[in-house]
Structures are given as C-alpha cells and as structure tokens.
A and B are shown apart, each in its own frame.
Chain A
Amino acid sequence: MDATMSAAAAAARAPAAAEVTVDGDPVKMRGDKVKVFYGQKQALFDVDLDVRERMVTALIGPSGCGKSTFLRCLNRMNDTIDICRVEGRLTLDGMDIYDPSIDVVELRARVGMVFQKPNPFPKSIYENVAYGPRIHGLARNKAELDDIVASSLQKAGLFEEVKDRLDAPGTGLSGGQQQRLCIARAIAVSPEVILMDEPCSALDPIATAKVEELIDELRANYTIVIVTHSMQQAARVSQRTAFFHLGNLVEEGPTQDIFTNPRDKRTQDYITGRFG
C-alpha cells in the first residue's frame, strides 16, 4: 500500500514525458519483455530492466547468462550479427530504439560503448579521440576539436599521462591506458549512456583500480551500464545490480541489497561462490 502511494506520488512529481521507476528514480533506458534469439537458440527470456539515469548499473552472472547480449541490445551492436533477432521493447528516454525510423548511428552516438579488450584504432592518441567528433561533425574548427580531445582525455584521467605525446600511436600505450583511451574516445562524442563490457578483464589490478575510480567519477554526468565477472567490482562501482542466469533476469535491486540480502536462492548461490 505504502509503495503504491509513493510511486504514485513520484509519478506525479516527475515531468509528464519522463519515465520513472517505482521508487522514483528517473529511467534512462528501459527493457520491456526483451527476447533475443541467435538463430534458433533463445539467449534472453522476457527481460524487464530499468537503467536509472546517472547511476552505475552492474550486470552480473555466470558466463553465457545473457548479460553481454542484453548490454549489446542497448546500442544495437547485435545488428552486426546476421542471425541475431531481438523482440520486445527497448527504450531510450521513452523512445523505442528498435523502431524502424531510428537511425542506429544516432543511437550509438548517444549510447557509447567500451569493449572488453582495449581496441584503440591504429592511429595517434589524438586521432583516436578525435575520431567520433569528426564523424559526427561536433567541432567547427581545429581549436574546438583540440578542446574536445583535451577535455575528453581529462575526463578519462589520461590527459596528464599523454599530453606531451598526443601524436604517438594509441596502440603504444599500456593496457590500462589503452582502455582509458577507449573511454575517452567514447566520452568525446558526448554520449548520454556508456555501456562497458567487462572493461577491466584484460587489465592488471592497478589499472583496474584506476578505471573503477574513473567509472565512479563519470557517474556524475553519464548513465553507465557495466557487465562484469568480478562481484567485488560490481559491489565497488555500482549503485544497482542485476543478476542474470540462463538468459533470465533473476533479480535487480540496489547493489547493497543484492549482495547482503538477495531475495532469490540462485543469486545467493552465485554471490556466495557456490557456482559460476
């Protein structure tokens, strides 16, 4: 009764168009009965998940549970896989991102992605960051582009380390620096959401700590969804956690609740290390 009341109150407070969750947080992206098929094989079953604005949502679960698949649905990276088919409804600010009228290029400019393995382009550090702004025409002249590159590198915490060698190849950086370069590259197109697919799995602990710190800072301006295999990492960086198992979303809630007081037996087994 109480919950219903407060939800109704929250709905009343929020602007008319914006969606909110039952507990009043603004929703950036919403999955509604999302089903994904790879050929005949179904990889996701009716996933309902809200991604809350300016929060870090962690997707956890054993390998093959569908968490990366769900992440890749959020900016339609699955489009590149011929046999992949997505059903259900996925929205960004209430807009259906699988609607035929949606330009996938625009969507990806708003929903950026950082990959598991650092994949800087074989170009200079500067060119790596300038790539996105160039293709989207975000800078009117060289000075503006320079500003975007510098501020993106700053936000990614990489500027101090590379400011004297922006012309050096991005592939020459260390693994951790490369991953922060990829984050800077994603930030440079001013996305609203940043998707991260196990961004630290190829990094050593120190580089991982830096990237995690960075994720925490980015939360102030961006909505972040991160897939991770490390439950400690999920606990450290996220505010919300979603647990996937065998293509189902088992439960989703505040990170602290999930780790201290899981409602589902499977979640409890997973976080206590009984499987996965």
Chain B
Amino acid sequence: MFWTSLLILAVVLVAAFVFGRIRAGQVVHGDVAALHSLPSFHGAYLAIVTVLPAFLLLVVWTIAAPKVIDSMVIAKSADAVSGLGKPELQAFIRDARAIAFGGIVGFTDAAKEQAASLYRAYDELSTQALWASMAILAIAGFAFGAKRISPRMRARHVVERTVMAVLIVCSVVAILTTIGIVLSLIFESLRFFEKVNFFSFVFGLEWSPQTAIRADQVGSEGTFGAIPLLAGTMLITLIAILVAAPVGLFAAIYLSDYASGPVRAVAKPVLEILAGIPTVVYGFFAALTVAPAFRGFGESLGLSVSSESALAAGVVMGIMIIPFVSSLSDDVINAVPQSLRDGSAGLGATRSETIRKVVLPAALPGIVSALILAISRAIGETMIVVMAAGLAANLTVNPLEAVTTVTVQIVTLLVGDQEFDSAKTLAAFALGLLLFCVTLLLNIFALRVVQKYREQYD
C-alpha cells in the first residue's frame, strides 16, 4: 500500500512539474524573460505544493495507522481482552493480525477471529481514508499552485527554501543516527554494569568471559577486566602505526615532491588499490603467510614466537593502512603552495631541507589527521586480528606473543547462539562503548595537537 502510493505520488510529481512548466510559459505567451522565475522553477513549485503535503500525510499515516487500529480493535473486543496481561495481550494482537493479513498463527479462537475481521474492516477503511485524503490534498495543492503561477510569482524562492529544508532533514537524520547508536551503546552498557562493577571492568586485569550456562554446571563466575584487551589493541595498533606512518609518509613525500608526472600518475592509484583489498584477504595473508614466516625467522634466531603473534597482525594491519596515510598525506603535501617551495629554494635550500623545514610543518595538521584516521581504522579493525592475533587475553607488551583485542572479543562474545541478557553478551556493548570512547579521546587529543602546532599558510 505504501509503495503503491509512493509510486502514484511520483507520477503525479512528474505530471505536476511538466504542467507547471508549460503553464508558466503560457502565462507569459512564451516570453520567458517576463517571468520572475524560470519555467522549471514554476514546475518544481507546482510539484512541491501538489505532492509534498500528500507525501507527509502518507508517511505519518503509515507510521501511526497500525497503532490507532490496534487500540480501536482492543476497544471493540474489550470482553475478550479485559483479563489479559501485557504479554498475553500482545500475543492476542499478533495472532489476530496474522489471521487477518496472513502469517503464522499461534492458535485460533472465536474472539481472535472476531478481532481479525475487525482488523480487516479497519484496515480497508484506513486505506480508503488515506487515499481519499491524499487525493484531496494533492488536488487542493495543485489547484492552489496552478492558480498562483504568474509572472511575478517568486517560485524560485519557494523551491530553494524547500531544497534547504531537504538538506537540513538529511543532515539531521545522519546526526540522529549517530546519537541513537551512542545512546543504545550507553543503555546496554548500563545494563552490563548492573551485573559487573564498572571499575572492575575498566581497570580489571583479567578477561575470562565464560560463565556457567546452567545452574548445575561447574564454571567460573566470569571476570570482565578490559585492560588486557585494551593493551592488546594498543600493542597491535602501535605496531601497525610504526609500519604505516614512516612508509606511508615517505611514500607521500616521494609522490608529491620527487616523482615525475607519469610515475605519480601510475603509483598513486596503485597505492590506493591497496585500500581496496578486502580485510579478510589481509586476514588470511597474516594468518597463513606472515605469522608462520615470523615464527620461522624467530626460531632461526632462537626466539620463541607464538604462531598467532601481535607482531604479525600488527605488521599486516600496518600494510593495510599505508594507503590511508600515503594518499591523504600526499594530498595535503600537494596543497602546500608552490610559492613556499620556491621561496625556500630561492634561499638556497636543498629539496630535502625545503621538505623538512617548510613543507612538512605546513602540512602537519593534515598529516596528523591522516594518521589519526589510520589509527582509528586500526583500532576498529576486526578481521585481521580475529584471524592472526589470537583469542588469548594475555596482558603483555611482548609483540611475539599472542594477544587479543577489543574487536576480537566482541566477535567471539556474539558469535553463535547467545542469550541477550547475560553479562557475557552485554559485555560486547560495554566493549563497544569503551572502544568508541578511546577513539573519541584520541581524536580530541589529536585535534589539540594540531591546533597547537599548526603553521597557517595562506
């Protein structure tokens, strides 16, 4: 019903637009310059006043109608539902709806059959009422708009304002989604903290989320100390940045200041292809190629390297984020004006002196934000560490041992059949919140650094 209405509205929209355009031309007998707004603005104006009210009604109606019908049906079948509790009432409604509109019905009885016929009747009524009102709105809007088409009508202003409203609505949607996600993280985390002490989570040194599933099982209580996970995340991220920052930055410097045009035209896209490799590919590359190679190399030196090591995961992750660093840094380095380079060269500075003392300081804010973006990617990255870093929550700074990360643990907590009110699954939300906070703090810190050390050029 909703989609049919939408399709009809779209057709009406086009028709109103075309009509408005033609009408605007007729009003001035083809002398378009006599119009305040171009004919297409009149068309758009007519389309807006015709379709927009009906569209808004459709949206509101689609959201509100089922609830209204529910309450009407419940009011009508007061006898049957008077004694029911909340879950039973919900089951009653679900079954009645299923009988009326098709679906899986729990069990049927006379009261439900009656409610179902009410549903059918009300639904039909609702649809008819909606279509009637939409038609009235559209016709009224069209008549109103068509009458107002005149040379002095400021259709352009109305259209521009509508466009602005659409833009605002879109940005509000994006912002509200973010807020919604954060709020849901916070509320689920609060439920977790009812079961597990906040401080023992944030400062706890041991992570062992296994709890007894049944009362008679022998099992630990489960300890939820996030420090080993954070330490593992930080260790791997640090290794990744140690790989990606120099390689990416130097590659960017080469590309922007040393490479000739043809080399740059080939090398930059190739580097960016690196960003297009799926992380799962990096993951098995890390697990199957890099980790065994590191272990073999370590053993030949007499070191004991575990087969899933932080080093292997970190190095591969570093390779993954090289393109973020190099591509973004290359852009900001290129954005440093040539006049600064000339000024430095004119004073007898060599190319490397110019880059070190003039170009890089000027590009610093952009380079730092490139690094921050790369770090955020590394912290949130899951696939590589799931495959290559391991599950053992060791609290260690030795990169040759297996560590685990926040993201890996979230995956293992939620994979498989889980009940969603145990401490174990709720811990995933708390970990998510923790990760979010860490990344946020990192961003704020980086912004501060950038503001403090930025060298403004204009």
Contact = CB atoms under 8 A, between A and B. Distances in A.
Given A122-B455, A135-B353, A169-B456, A186 B346 contact: yes
A105 B346 contact: no
B234 interface: no
Interface string A171-190: 10000000000100110010
A241 interface: no
B83 interface: no
Interface stretch (B28-36, B153-161, B294-302, B357-365): B357-365
Interface string A105-126: 1111100111101011111000
A109 B353 CA distance: 14
Most buried by B among A113, A119, A131, A189: A119
A226 B313 CA distance: 60
Contact of A122 (B260, B261, B350, B362): B362
Interface residues of B, number: 24
B273 to A, nearest CB: 26
Contacts of A80: 341-342, 345
B348 A106 contact: yes
Given A121-B358, A122-B457, A131-B357, A115 B349 contact: no
A109 B347 CA distance: 6
B310 to A, nearest CB: 39
Interface in B320-365: 337, 339-350, 353, 357-358, 361-362
B338 to A, nearest CB: 9
Contact of B349 (A75, A105, A107): A105
Given A121-B340, A131-B344, A189-B347, A171 B456 contact: yes
B362 A108 contact: no
Nearest to A195: B346
A77 B346 contact: yes
A135 B348 contact: yes
Contacts of A108: 345-348
Contacts of A109: 347-348
B343 A135 contact: no
A186 B458 CA distance: 20
A263 interface: no
Interface in A45-84: 75, 77, 80, 82
A112 B361 CA distance: 23
A239 B382 CA distance: 72
Contact of B343 (A75, A105, A121, A136): A121
A275 B260 CA distance: 39
A117 B339 contact: yes
Interface string B436-458: 00000000000000000001111
Contacts of B357: 131, 135
Contact of B346 (A113, A122, A123, A169): A113
B343 to A, nearest CB: 4
A16 B70 CA distance: 111
Nearest to A185: B347
A171 B458 contact: yes
Contacts of B362: 121-122
A262 interface: no
A135 B349 contact: yes
A82 B337 CA distance: 18
Contacts of B340: 119, 121-122
A112 B339 contact: no
A169 B453 CA distance: 12
B347 A119 contact: no
Nearest to B454: A122
Contacts of A132: 347-349
Nearest to A120: B343
Interface of B: 260-261, 337, 339-350, 353, 357-358, 361-362, 455-458
21 contacts: A75-B346, A77-B342, A80-B341, A80-B345, A82-B260, A82-B261, A107-B348, A108-B346, A112-B348, A113-B346, A113-B347, A115-B342, A115-B346, A119-B342, A121-B358, A122-B455, A131-B358, A132-B349, A169-B455, A169-B456, A189-B348
User: What 5 A-B pairs have minimum CB-CB distances, sorted nearest first?
Assistant: A122-B455, A113-B346, A109-B348, A108-B348, A119-B339
Interface of A: 75, 77, 80, 82, 105-109, 112-115, 117, 119-123, 131-132, 135-136, 169, 171, 182, 185-186, 189
Given A132-B348, A186-B347, 20 more contacts: A75-B346, A80-B341, A82-B260, A107-B348, A113-B347, A114-B346, A119-B337, A119-B343, A121-B455, A122-B362, A122-B457, A123-B361, A131-B349, A131-B357, A135-B348, A135-B357, A136-B348, A171-B458, A185-B343, A185-B347
